[in-house]
Structure 1
């Protein structure tokens, strides 16, 4: 019994010696059932960093091995304190303390309400945090976001649009030029005949959608656009620029899309890129809408020698001088530079003021901002894309009126529908082959 008591006293004394040895102070935020892991201290300067203030609640005992963790190349000065943050029932990992300067860092006060996020990345790692996940955004949600800005409860008198079917565009221009016209409020469309009498239909949405659809058709062929039917670019029209037509048409497009869901679908790739601040494609002679000027530039480009190119340049001297691209060439490389310069100025540079005014109109209801932020989503809205006609598209155009179930006619009708769909599939397969 005596020997056993001595053994207990010796063990107690050895444990006291181990516990009395100096160890880095760990300031921990206490919480129940938290496992705390401390990493080896990193080399620091002579001045110790102060411990981080901890909550008054006592920290639970942390099981540790009797052998202390090996220090990493440290100076004789004591290692700085390692702050260990813990939350309820969550393992807390303390990162190695970073070398500090001679001046002590101020203590950081924290409270249980503060959540601390740890990053195990290296200091050289670039971190990008997006406010909005691109993959969670679709076109429908963006259009709904813009539509929520519109008050569809009541239409003010300034938003009444009196429309004559023979002058759809002029009717819209008169309304959009009003100082009190509010695109964020409901529209009230009234169709009037030649005598100025309304057609009598209350605008519960139908007349508005019809007007916006007809208005978009008129915009497609208006004076501020030029080029192919489904690849329109801005036209150079000084009168329209002076009258602010580019801005008005831009606002009309925004209202047609957000109020009525009517898509333009006629922008060229160049115009769409210019609006969205993207890099436009390389200028091409075929994009020049002026047939006479395009023919003269093509003749210059196809010249076989310098003399032939100079003769072609003299034929187009009037247009080239207005573009600032008339100069003397000595080599075929000079010819190519002249053609490229004149084409770029004709297609892009001379339309800068018109483009800025047009973009100002598209800012209506925040459309331009979302277009520039999500250009790929709006590409299908503003640009025309040819899609092959499929059998399912044709089949969806027809709705069969069937006889009652169980009748002899219903059996024959069901077989007829199957034959009809089989035939559509065969026709689609023949075209693809």
Structure 2
């Protein structure tokens, strides 16, 4: 038995000529038996079953059975078109509604392409519910057109993320194109739960490869890449189209469009850098397109904020569900850390406590690669462990960066300062790069960005408004505060005269005729000092943060990383310290009993360290430093997880705790009394503090 597709013959079941595979299935003709039928009409017909093999009849539907179904349906009238031949009925036994398949689609029947292929009328069809109120406005996550956030036959949602809403026609077209192996939610990428729900709601998912996989030479264009240097001045003697396998004359393509390129040497791209972007894409990515610098200067800050808020809020609302499903900052940083190769190292030589200088010296090496492990050598250090040296170095580096000349403001809430020497030395880029390196290589949380700086970099919080307190310069802040706090026209004019030098530089010095002019004046001042004049430092700082992909990942989930960059580091508590270390007990019963007692000593000592009366010589941070060489939990977390084990000494009088910081492993002695346990633990921790001070 053989069959062919025919586009112009009427289907024997629905009596239509339509040839629309995504709606009615493949249109098949058995030429020998003069039968033409839509495949979906066969599947959904209530009186026929697949009793044959796949090669028999039409995909297992035998010819005799098809003829019987034609005769059966000829006696039934369609409730849609009122004509005979209705072969599809509602699967609820008490329901008598019969339709042709196309009429059923028009009358919003749901046809489930699974199990026994049941059909359901409008009254009995399955529905979706919304457990959370959708945030307006919404758009279809497939066609991106506006969508009314009311679940219906025409509007469906993803069961996994609840943030992806779409038109039925859009998701059916996507399913027909992507098929079973590639059909998934466009926002959260959930596949199994998403497909089950779509089948329940009547979406047909073909069991084949995606449509693009079936095209001949579908990926032929991907084998060709852009090979041309578009730099203003090309330094290559062999021409702009020459590309070496590696080195200075290797062509690097734009990471966004891939349609522009440059030789590394022609654009001063280092050998390890891969994230180059062309001028067009860079302008678009950084928002410099139509909103030019002059345009910002000529607009009040309220306009700038409203425009930014409008753009951000639309994106924020659309992708909010997706970001909520993202991993935690610790998991994201651990994912970024997979780029690091332990086999290759970058040497950092620290002398005379000049931490920042040592870091910059390593960063400026011609062969520096951020993916190489940092090998820190502390010249006068008593520690030989590489991990301990690295953690100590990164902790001190972060403190040095916070106190550097490119930041201003009180501790814990720093803003970028405008420093011409730092611009000439490209210190903003290097500082951003060092912060990114510290986070991925196991350094502590940044914890000193001001909300204004974080908002300027990552546009979060989306509704944040810049204030006078965000100005870093103390003298400028006081003068602008006088303007903001003026209560009369005379006070305002006096405050303006006092700040005239600053206003002249900002282009804001003007005649004041009424008190209402104050708000516009303040907007212009903040606009200049916090946005306009800081464009270049912010741009270079962002570029530095792109090292190892940190900026892109933070930008994708800014609310999660807000605590890493802005919130102060939480003070360690006894409970947190106790739960941080996982105890490892002996298998032998008697030993385990003694170790349980030692664990009680350990918990009691931690509580004493946290006490307000200072009952212990060591702090919780000192103990954490002794065990892990870090006084705070790194932003990336501890890897491996901290471990607590025990040993039974031969002589209790000299049984001191031991630690292996590179493995985050603390080993406690099993001692007969708490007083002896406390004495030995404080001695060991105290010795470490003395060694650090030397």
Verify same fold: TM over 0.5: yes
* Distance change in 2, residues 1:386/1:219 (3 Å): closer
Consecutive unaligned residues in structure 2, runs of 5 or more: 1-11, 17-35, 47-55, 87-98, 123-175, 184-194, 204-317, 583-589, 614-694
Name structure 1 gaps, 5 residues minimum: 1-19, 39-53, 97-108, 123-127, 194-198, 428-433
SS at 2:516 equivalent: helix
Task: Name the CA distance, whole Å, in 2 between partners of 1:422 and 1:202.
Answer: 31
- Structure 1 residues 421, 143: CA separation in 2 closer, same or farther (over 3 Å shift)? closer
How many Å separate the matches in 2 of 1:417 and 1:203?
28
Shift of 1:287: 2.3
> Which of 511, 514, 529 is 1:331 aligned to?
514
CA distance in 1, matches of 2:520, 2:120: 64
- Whether contact under 8 Å (2:356, 2:397) holds in the other structure is yes
1:44 corresponding residue in structure 2: none
Residue 142 (1) aligns with residue 332 (2): yes
- Alpha-carbon distance in 2 for matches of 1:240, 1:180: 23
1:51-200 to structure 2, matched below 5 A, reads: 57-60=59-62, 61=65, 67-70=75-78, 72-73=80-81, 89=115, 91=117, 134-135=324-325, 137-155=327-345, 159-193=346-380
Distance (Å, rounded) in 2 between the aligned partners of 1:129 and 1:281: 19
Q: Distance in 1 between matches of 2:509 and 2:348?
A: 49
Q: Is the 8 A contact 1:283 1:343 kept in 2?
A: yes
Residue 172 of structure 1: how far off its partner (Å):
0.7
Structure 1 equivalent of residue 551 of structure 2: 368
**Shift of the alpha carbon at 1:308?**
3.0
Give CA deviations for 1:169-198 in whole Å, capped at 9, x if unaligned: 0111111112221001122222225xxxxx
**Bigger shift: 313-322 or 61-70?**
61-70
How far residue 88 of structure 1 moved from its aligned partner, in angstroms, is 7.5
State the superposition RMSD in angstroms: 4.8
Shift of 1:151: 1.2
Q: Does 1:36 align with 2:55?
A: no
The 8 Å contact of residues 190 and 203 in structure 1, kept in 2 or not, is answered as no
Pair 1:321 & 2:504 matched: yes
> What is the CA distance between 1:343 and its match in structure 2?
2.8
CA 1:322/1:121 → structure 2, altered by over 3 Å: closer, same or farther? farther
SS at structure 2 position matched to 1:218:
helix
SS class of match (2:464): coil
Match of 1:353 in 2: 536
CA distance in 1, matches of 2:115, 2:414: 62
C-alpha change, 1:397 and 1:26, in structure 2 (3 Å) is closer
User: Equivalents in 2 of 1:296, 1:372: separation in Å?
Assistant: 34
Give 1:268 shift.
0.9
Q: Residue 348 of structure 1: SS of its match in structure 2?
A: helix
Q: Hey, what does 1:15 align to over in structure 2? A: none
Which of 437, 445, 453 is the matching residue for 1:255?
Answer: 437
**Alignment size in residue pairs:** 358
Task: Give the SS at the match of 1:205.
Answer: helix
Structure 1 counterpart of 2:458: 276
Return the structure number with greater relative CO, CA threshold 8 A, min gap 6. 1
Say which one has the larger Rg.
1
Tell me the TM-score normalised to structure 1 length.
Answer: 0.67
Give me the whole-angstrom Cα distance separating, in 2, the residues matched to 1:423 and 1:204: 29
